[in-house]
Structure 1
Amino acid sequence: MDATPDPSTPSLTSSLEEPEDWYNNTNRFEQPGWQVALWGVAYALIVVVSVIGNITVIWIILAHRRMRTVTNYFIVNLAFSDVSMASFNTVFNFVYALHNDWYFGLGFCRFQNFFPITAIFSSIYSMTAIAVDRYMAIIHPLKPRLSATTTKIVIALIWAVAFSLAFPQCFYSKTLFFFHRTVCLVDWPDDYGGKHQLTYQIAVIILIYVLPLLVMLATYSLVGMTLWGSEIPGEASDLYQNQIRAKRKVVKMMIVVVLTFAFCWLPFHIYFLLGSFNEDIYKKKYIQQVYLAIFWLAMSSTMYNPIIYCCLNKRFRSGFRRAFRWCPFIRASEEDNMELQHTRTFQMTRSYRTETSSVAHQASTELEDIIPKLIKA
């Protein structure tokens, strides 16, 4: 029996130890205090930035009616998944990785092997849903868009599929007690590296990494060719130019989010995929530091999105200034309030132009009626 280093929620005991080490009172991966402290600071940074940033993103969208769009509902789901990952997975897996001793019981062992896959699935398919929504809005603008109700149903379906995908990890999880420590592992029916484990691991990598990234690559490529493939006509109306620029900014922001996610998780998936075919790499003495670095990079993906939104989107930037206006070095202006509360500028412009044209048309009609009368007089 051996633990399974799952691509999203690894059992670190099998990844870092040989089974015979479980039965003696040795731990080949003890670290000096200063090293533990440095890793602790690095992982604490992820948790603090991710929790504060993603909760702020959720508040910005839900507390301001103007921000409640289809894209932003998926961003709320993405932020919730990221903050959940940072809160429930980063800390506990880091503690487990330090000394390979599971302190949290069987119930949380099952949860720890179950929830991260669920959260990652929800995150990346929220990004995929945004990509498809942008594709439909830009490539097929005349087709019906998702309503708020339909968007919520799609989000619920994403979580339902995520729960189903992660269930085997929960079902086969168990804890083993030895003289000097407890291990949390996934006890597959045919042992580590067998048909069940390998099939599941490859399926998970395809479903939570390869497939959605291919879909987003295709959709954003088509959207990019449409938005950037030709220049905005010089005589185009201000409304049209503003709409194109706004769409470009949203697409650019989401492309950066997707590329960041792909970069952060690629080494993690490669690490565990290689381990599935060659378990000996987990027996190297330096592997603990390699794993901690790779795991830190993967978990850091949960803290970058709020920073990206703030840097690349004016409304989110206004929302962050309003959220942190209590800080002495941050000032929220009336413009920030208008950016979040008032109706869209292009809608106001369109309304103004419609009213102006209506008045002009009415005036010209009245003039046409008056001129013949003056001539006859």
Structure 2
Amino acid sequence: MVECILYSDGNTSSASESNTTGITAFSLPGWQLALWAVAYLFLILVAITGNVTVIWIILAHKRMRTVINYFILNLALADTFMATFNVAFNFVYASHNIWYFGRAFCHSQNFFPVVAMFVSIYSMMAIAVDRYMAIIHPFQPRLSTLSTKVIIGAIWLVASGLAFPQFFYSTVTVDEGVTKCIVDWPEDGKVKHLMYHLTVIILTYFLPLAVMFVTYSIMGVTLWRQVVPGNQPVGVQQRPRHIAAKKRFVKTMVVVVVTFAICWLPYHLYFILGTFYQDIYCHKFIQQVYLALFWLAMSSTMYNPIIYCCLNQRFRSGFRLAFRCCPWVTPPDEDKLKLFQSQSLLMTIHKNHTKMLLSVRKSSFPETPKDQEGDLRYQLPNRF
């Protein structure tokens, strides 16, 4: 715990005042608090609405229950929990520097962010590895539904173990009349504290991002050169469309990963810097810096549903169906087919529709002698 004097505009004052009035030296002016509250409320509403919709799209439609979508479901679940149980409470604490929510919630407040961050990025990494195996090693056995659920359970278990020290050492203290929720590491554990934070940052950020960078780079080179190994189980005519679908999915997940990386990097750098230079926490401006960096990091929870809706046709259909009660949303009939019908049935419908069109076009032309075929072909462009 850092003992310091609050520095603000060249004047020094006590770092904290009595919280009997709910005011400390870090309390924000009313207009600033209102602006930040609107920004965080917007983030929470968009994140919860978008991720709950993604969860509904996957669970309510059997065709969407694939290995990849189970990992996307896991990612959406972690983002929903983060937006619901962490963002608002952390904002109130950061904007007032007073902990109002009791000892029990103090433990979970320090525990769950590490869990959610670990679950989110390792769900992305699992998707990257699964796609890598499907594209680069198509003849290797694929993950089953049971194996996928076991991996998801293992991700949550490891995440909980990694975050346990945050839970164990969390405590509520009263410092000069101000109630605070802190992680109170033992006096002889400062080196361990530093090593723990560096380990968390490496395991929840740099290591999985390095793995995803390598896998998506290899997949990108392979797909864009159209040299997918092995004979894919699709026809020659369908092969370009099959590769195009893989390209679209890779693009979608690359955007998701890059967005996550950009949102969380400043937040991690902030804590790395604070670990070595703890005096920065004594400056008044650091509150505004933290609120901005925390908002950016938490905003990663609301971007993924927007990315899915923009870049994936099935999720876009699901969002239109979910919000069909809105007057400006009118889902076409194809949306239900994309979510409720199997791929083979859709291909059969498409083939039958194509045959029907061809037969209609044929029947619209009168039979002509062979010597008039040249005239008929010449006249076709004028007919349509």
Q: Give the TM-score normalised by the residue count of structure 2.
A: 0.83
Q: How do residues 271-290 of structure 1 correspond to structure 2 at under 5 angstroms?
A: 271-290=270-289
2:170 corresponds to which residue? 173
Aligned-partner residue type, residue 210 of structure 2: L
Superposed CA RMSD in Å reads: 2.7
The answer to whether the Cα contact below 8 Å between 1:249 and 1:312 also exists between their aligned partners in 2 is yes
Q: What per-residue deviation string (whole Å, max 9, x for no partner) do you get for residues 221-241 of structure 1?
A: 111111012489xxx833111
Q: For residues 74 and 325 of structure 1, do their structure 2 counterparts lie closer, same or farther at Cα, with a shift above 3 Å needed?
A: same
Q: Distance in 1 between matches of 2:152 and 2:2?
A: 35
Match of residue 96, structure 1, among 90, 93, 97: 93
The answer to whether the Cα contact below 8 Å between 2:67 and 2:145 also exists between their aligned partners in 1 is yes
Q: For residues 207 and 94 of structure 1, do their structure 2 counterparts lie closer, same or farther at Cα, with a shift above 3 Å needed?
A: same
Structure 1's unaligned 5+ residue stretches are 4-12, 354-377
Q: What per-residue deviation string (whole Å, max 9, x for no partner) do you get for residues 135-192 of structure 1?
A: 0000000111000000000000000000000000000010012453200001111378
Match of residue 60, structure 1, among 57, 61, 68: 57
Q: For residues 14 and 86 of structure 1, do their structure 2 counterparts lie closer, same or farther at Cα, with a shift above 3 Å needed?
A: farther
Aligned-partner residue type, residue 114 of structure 1: F
Q: For residues 31 and 228 of structure 1, do their structure 2 counterparts lie closer, same or farther at Cα, with a shift above 3 Å needed?
A: same
2:255 corresponds to which residue? 256
Q: Which runs of 4 or more aligned residues in structure 1 lie more than 3 Å from their structure 2 counterparts after TM superposition?
A: 13-20, 22-26, 345-353
Q: What per-residue deviation string (whole Å, max 9, x for no partner) do you get for residues 32-55 of structure 1?
A: 111101000000011100000000
1:164 corresponds to which residue? 161
Q: Distance in 1 between matches of 2:350 and 2:48?
A: 40
Q: Distance in 2 between matches of 1:34 and 1:98?
A: 12
Do structure 1's residue 132 and structure 2's residue 126 form an aligned pair? Answer: no
Aligned-partner residue type, residue 203 of structure 2: L
Match of residue 115, structure 1, among 112, 117, 122: 112
Q: How do residues 273-312 of structure 1 correspond to structure 2 at under 5 angstroms?
A: 273-312=272-311
Q: For residues 15 and 179 of structure 1, do their structure 2 counterparts lie closer, same or farther at Cα, with a shift above 3 Å needed?
A: closer
Q: Distance in 2 between matches of 1:2 and 1:284?
A: 12
2:372 corresponds to which residue? none
Aligned-partner residue type, residue 43 of structure 2: I
2:72 corresponds to which residue? 75
Structure 2's unaligned 5+ residue stretches are 229-234, 353-384
Aligned length: 341
Q: For residues 71 and 14 of structure 1, do their structure 2 counterparts lie closer, same or farther at Cα, with a shift above 3 Å needed?
A: farther
Q: Distance in 2 between matches of 1:104 and 1:16?
A: 28
Deviation at 1:21, TM superposition (A): 2.8
2:192 corresponds to which residue? 196
Deviation at 1:30, TM superposition (A): 1.9
- The 3-state SS of whatever aligns with 1:29 is coil
Q: What per-residue deviation string (whole Å, max 9, x for no partner) do you get for residues 285-322 of structure 1?
A: 21111110000000000000000000000000000000
Aligned-partner residue type, residue 300 of structure 2: S
- Fraction of identical pairs, as percent: 57
Q: What per-residue deviation string (whole Å, max 9, x for no partner) do you get for residues 68-127 of structure 1?
A: 111100000000000100011100000001110000111000010101100110000000
Q: Distance in 2 between matches of 1:94 and 1:344?
A: 45
The answer to whether the Cα contact below 8 Å between 2:6 and 2:15 also exists between their aligned partners in 1 is no
Do structure 1's residue 224 and structure 2's residue 223 form an aligned pair? Answer: no
Do structure 1's residue 342 and structure 2's residue 330 form an aligned pair? Answer: no
- The 3-state SS of whatever aligns with 2:299 is helix
